[in-house]
Structure 1
Amino acid sequence: MRVLAAMSGGVDSAVAAARAVDAGHDVVGVHLALSRMPGTLRTGSRGCCTIEDSMDARRVCDKLGIPFYVWDFSDRFKEDVVDNFIDEYAQGRTPNPCMRCNEKIKFSALLEKAVALGFDAVCTGHYAKLVEDPDGNVELHRAADWAKDQSYVLGVLTHEQLKHSMFPLAETPTKAEVRAEAEERGFSIAKKPDSHDICFIPDGDTRGWLEERIDLEEGEIKDTSGEVLGTHRGARAFTVGQRKGLSIGRPASDGKPRFVLEIRPKTNEVVVGSKEMLAVDEIRGIRETWAGLPAPEAQRFDAGTDQPGATSESFDILAQVRAHADPVPAVAHLEIGNVDGEPSRELVVRLEEPLRGVAPGQTVVIYQGTRVLGQATINRAYSLSRPDIAGH
């Protein structure tokens, strides 16, 4: 096969490309230039897509004896990832830019260009597994190393995209083995630290970065009864579950810390309460997609009614709301609901174990066993027993 290896400049994508070469594929390496003003050097493990990263990727390709190119996707990245990140926060939601990057850049823009140029697949260093069912349909599953499993951030991939994807690290037991292999192959990046944080906010100061890009106005901090506890510099820069930066100035009656329970952008209010109040047992997601074929219950619902209040059959799942969180048992169904006064299709997830700090804008990825079924963007998350929060 003709394979386009997406080379970040890190050790995972380097070993993935090397394994694709070893498998006999015709491999070409490409580094995505995602920043209009890339830094010259990384700072520790923060950030990515710097000039140093592109140079590291080039050295790996030279070592492997494969062609190497740099493709400028900075305009698409700014529009689909960075601007989306700002817009979501401006509306009081907490987005996941890695999900958007995988959805819009690495497995949409990149894959579309690769297929147009005659490539059969895009190879990446993600830790995830592709499995064919008895009918030849591709499924996305967790990787062998659950500690490094990245199937969550790939939950946005569609059936068609999975058919053109390749994840050579799927069965690798540990990251240590990947680094050892890189050293054996003579890659200078064998001990290069992993990148963390948001790549376009390399200093890690998300609030400070947002304050320069979102109009923030002073507003009120309230408890769930409506009592005003203090003021804030702008509700849109907060996120559900946040503890730091509230600056209320007086302790709660029980002496315990307060956490952000809800952000109300229309009234510029931040609602706070105890850690226990963060627990939610129902999540409603919009814009659901399926990683492979949809769940049978969803397929049957697609052929049914679209009337408000209509629901699909329920199906058992595991729900995960963060990249490295533990999944929890849940029951899901599709429902024609009402979002902001308009009919909307929702993925409703009822959790058997409450989760804390679930924020609108995050992604809920649903599994059955190790298989990723699909995902949805969280529109609402609440406790069914707490109408004071659920009602807003």
Structure 2
Amino acid sequence: MKRVIVGLSGGVDSSVAAYLLKEQGYEVIGLFMKNWHDDSVTISNECPWLDDSNDAMLVADKLGIPFQTVDLSEQYKERIVDYMFNEYQKGRTPNPDVLCNREIKFDVFMKIALDLGADFVATGHYCRKGTIQKEGKEVYQLLSGVDNNKDQSYFLCQLSQEQLSKSLFPIGELTKPEVREIATKLDLVTADKKDSQGLCFIGKVRLPEFLQQQLKPKEGVIVEIPEDKNYYNQTEPIFNSTREKLQYLTRKIEYSVTDGTIVGKHQGAHYFTKGQRKGLAVGGTAEPLFVIDTDVTDNIIYTGQGKEHPGLLKKALFVTEDELHWIREDLALKVDETMRVKARIRYRQPLQNAILHKVDSGLYVEFENAQSAITEGQFVAWYLNDELVGSGVIS
């Protein structure tokens, strides 16, 4: 019997994953990860880790599998929380869920599992794993989940071949209603439990307060940029090369206070992200204001009216070489090669037609249609059909 350690989170998805593996004849062990100690920033009655850990224990008991808790809060603080603060300070918007999978669940947690003699680690992610033979070698594929509403392949876009080789995703072939139905039939305590929101495995966290512990508030101005500014309405120049065109499409507009009107004040540019609408507390505009850029050096937020504001829209993005990642290393592009793909710049975004252009310093992703709020620090992931083949941090 192969031994599988399931990351039991106290949610319905991992509960059903554990059940399915047991049915398939694996020796299953449930492990709950404790990633957080500081209760002062969690919204205490909305699923603190203690409730989750109890639910996970009750599920393990019901399924008749061994259960234990591991404390990974030190590694979580070091690898996720500190990274997030660092990114916010630079004016970038990190994605903790993608990082948590790469750094915690499929790295620290996986090493613990393998030390406990596991052959595989399993999670309750809605995605699938494929295996193909290529030049006599096994190559692992990360495939999107069957349930289009819940597909979570994007969150796993930074996994490696090594990590995939030891991973199982038992519920990837099911839809969420089917998963709930199985849990209800088994009378599991998690059957009707709401999906957790907030930072991966911490439970609900008040992000602004959480950041404020490290990043001190500092008052600055909110500037509204009109959409008829000349830099939005330039005629596209004639390009001598594709590269010139891509550099033009990914260029960053340097805004200044004199470009628009001061419409309000904020408590720190590093608390805001591109495309954000809530929290600006500025009224009286015909259309709602959206953040189009933040300047953390001078502590200014630039905004524009409406979600079609030209300051929000862009047709291309760039990923630097050191933040470029191929799950399918065998498909990695060489300099000057291109690839037609479907790509997304955030979870749940419908896949968009795009072309990848490899250059020596990294990779351009050029979209067929302009994308809204392409945000530095977030991940772009690209697919061939339903297979996620690579990803990178938007620079």
TM-score of the aligned structures, taking structure 1 as reference length: 0.84
* Contact 2:100 2:200 survives alignment (8 Å): no
* Contact 2:197 2:204 survives alignment (8 Å): no
Aligned to 1:194: 195
Residue 292 (str. 1) matches residue 291 (str. 2): no
Aligned to 1:257: 288
Give the match's secondary structure for 1:130. strand
> What per-residue deviation string (whole Å, max 9, x for no partner) do you get for residues 131-184 of structure 1?
112333110000111111100101111111000000001111x21111111122
Q: Which residue among 150, 153, 160 is the counterpart of 1:151? A: 153
* Contact 2:3 2:118 survives alignment (8 Å): yes
For 2:7, give the aligned amino acid: A
**Residues 165 and 292 of structure 1: is their aligned pair in 2 closer, same or farther, counting only changes over 3 Å?**
farther
Q: CA deviation at 1:43?
A: 6.6
* Contact 2:380 2:392 survives alignment (8 Å): yes
TM-score of the aligned structures, taking structure 2 as reference length: 0.83
Aligned to 2:353: 329
Aligned to 1:124: 123
For 1:283, give the aligned amino acid: L
Give ranges in structure 2 of 5+ residues lacking alignment. 226-254
Q: Distance between the aligned counterparts of 2:205 and 2:106, measured in 1?
A: 26
Q: CA deviation at 1:233?
A: 2.0
For 1:170, give the aligned amino acid: G
Aligned to 1:365: 381
Residues 99-108 or 328-337, more deviating: 328-337
Q: CA deviation at 1:244?
A: 2.9
Q: Distance between the aligned counterparts of 2:358 and 2:5, measured in 1?
A: 37
**Residues 42 and 234 of structure 1: is their aligned pair in 2 closer, same or farther, counting only changes over 3 Å?**
closer
Q: Distance between the aligned counterparts of 2:284 and 2:58, measured in 1?
A: 56
Give the match's secondary structure for 1:118. coil
Q: Distance between the aligned counterparts of 1:52 and 1:208, measured in 2?
A: 23
Aligned to 1:314: 338
* Contact 1:138 1:159 survives alignment (8 Å): yes
Q: CA deviation at 1:85?
A: 1.6
Q: Distance between the aligned counterparts of 2:348 and 2:44, measured in 1?
A: 23
Aligned to 1:115: 114
Q: Distance between the aligned counterparts of 1:258 and 1:38, measured in 2?
A: 34
Aligned to 2:266: 232
**Residues 86 and 336 of structure 1: is their aligned pair in 2 closer, same or farther, counting only changes over 3 Å?**
same
* Contact 1:42 1:52 survives alignment (8 Å): no
* Contact 1:201 1:209 survives alignment (8 Å): no
Q: Which residue among 273, 281, 292 is the counterpart of 2:304? A: 273
Q: Distance between the aligned counterparts of 2:13 and 2:203, measured in 1?
A: 20
Give the match's secondary structure for 1:367. strand
Give the match's secondary structure for 2:394. strand
Residue 216 (str. 1) matches residue 204 (str. 2): no
* Contact 2:12 2:180 survives alignment (8 Å): yes
Aligned to 2:142: 140
* Contact 2:34 2:201 survives alignment (8 Å): no
> What per-residue deviation string (whole Å, max 9, x for no partner) do you get for residues 190-246 of structure 1?
111111123577556423432332023222333356234144321111110112333
* Contact 2:196 2:203 survives alignment (8 Å): no
* Contact 1:142 1:149 survives alignment (8 Å): yes
Q: Distance between the aligned counterparts of 1:246 and 1:63, measured in 2?
A: 48
Q: CA deviation at 1:294?
A: 4.2
Aligned to 1:79: 78
Give the match's secondary structure for 2:360. strand
* Contact 2:7 2:121 survives alignment (8 Å): yes
For 1:317, give the aligned amino acid: V
Give the match's secondary structure for 1:133. strand
For 1:270, give the aligned amino acid: I
Q: CA deviation at 1:19?
A: 0.8
CA RMSD across the alignment: 2.2
* Contact 1:216 1:236 survives alignment (8 Å): no
**Residues 249 and 129 of structure 1: is their aligned pair in 2 closer, same or farther, counting only changes over 3 Å?**
closer
Aligned to 2:238: none
For 2:29, give the aligned amino acid: V
Q: Distance between the aligned counterparts of 1:289 and 1:258, measured in 2?
A: 35
**Residues 226 and 257 of structure 1: is their aligned pair in 2 closer, same or farther, counting only changes over 3 Å?**
same
* Contact 1:159 1:290 survives alignment (8 Å): no
Residue 283 (str. 1) matches residue 317 (str. 2): yes
Q: Distance between the aligned counterparts of 1:78 and 1:33, measured in 2?
A: 12
